[in-house]
Structures are given as structure tokens and as C-alpha cells.
Amino acid sequence: KQEVTQIPAALSVPEGENLVLNCSFTDSAIYNLQWFRQDPGKGLTSLLLIQSSQREQTSGRLNASLDKSSGRSTLYIAASQPGDSATYLCAVTQAGTALIFGKGTTLSVSS
């Protein structure tokens, strides 16, 4: 059974720092991996989608990498801002399944 783990569970950084969020999964037979952002009490916003054949995707200050063979993904946030404060969720899709989520990393960026 696929399990997704995110480390750390919480992270606090000062504004301007570059940071990395980690995601690992136990079964490398995935179709794709998605990173989401969730603000408190709100729904999910899709940030980046990486297909299983891809190594990375970039959107603005965000860069997500995927190493399928080792079961790992990272989300790199450059020059963090207070508006980046949210919970970041990693999720994978396998054959015949909907997304399987990690528990998330709650990020706090102080000004």
C-alpha cells in the first residue's frame, strides 16, 4: 500500500530565505506527483504537477523535483515571502487510484 511522508511537519523561516520541503513515497510505480498549497480552512490550490517521466517542473519561485527510483520529491521555494505561509501537501497517483496524500508541511514565513 502506497504511503506518502512529508518532512518536516512544520517549518518557520524569516522572509527572504530559500527553503526545501521534502516528500517521500514507498511505491515508485506512480503516474505523477502533485504539490498543493492549502490556506487555513480553505481548499487546495495545485502548484505543480510532475509526470512520472519528468525530473522537475518550475513555476515562478517554485521548483519541484522528482526522483522516482528513490521515491522522493522536493519542493524548492526561492526568496520566501510571508504570503507563502500555508500548508504544502504532496500527493501521488497510481494506476486505478485517486491522489494519495501526505500529511503536509506547515510553513510560516515571518517578515
Partner 1 sequence: SAVISQKPSRDICQRGTSLTIQCQVDSQVTMMFWYRQQPGQSLTLIATANQGSEATYESGFVIDKFPISRPNLTFSTLTVSNMSPEDSSIYLCSVRGGVTYNEQFFGPGTRLTVL
- Residues forming the site for partner 1 (CB under 8 A): 31-32, 34, 36, 41-46, 49, 51, 89, 91, 93, 98-99, 101-104
Residue (51 or 70) nearer to partner 1, CB: 51
C-beta of 54 vs 63, nearer to partner 1: 54
Closest CA to 106 of 45, 49, 39: 39
- CB 51 → partner 1: shortest distance, Å? 7
**Residue placing its CB nearer to partner 1 in the complex, 44 or 62:** 44
Least separation in angstroms between residue 25's CB and partner 1 is 13
CB of 14 to partner 1, least distance (A): 26
Q: Output the DSSP codes for 4-40.
A: EEEE-SEEEEETT--EEEEEEES----SEEEEEEE-T
Distances (CA, A) of 97 to 29, 31, 37, 75, 94: 12, 10, 21, 23, 5
Residues near 103 by beta carbon (within 8 Å), at least 6 away in sequence: 5, 6, 9
Work out how close the CB of 4 gets to partner 1 at its nearest, in angstroms, rounded to a whole number: 9
Nearer to partner 1, 40 or 111 (CB): 40
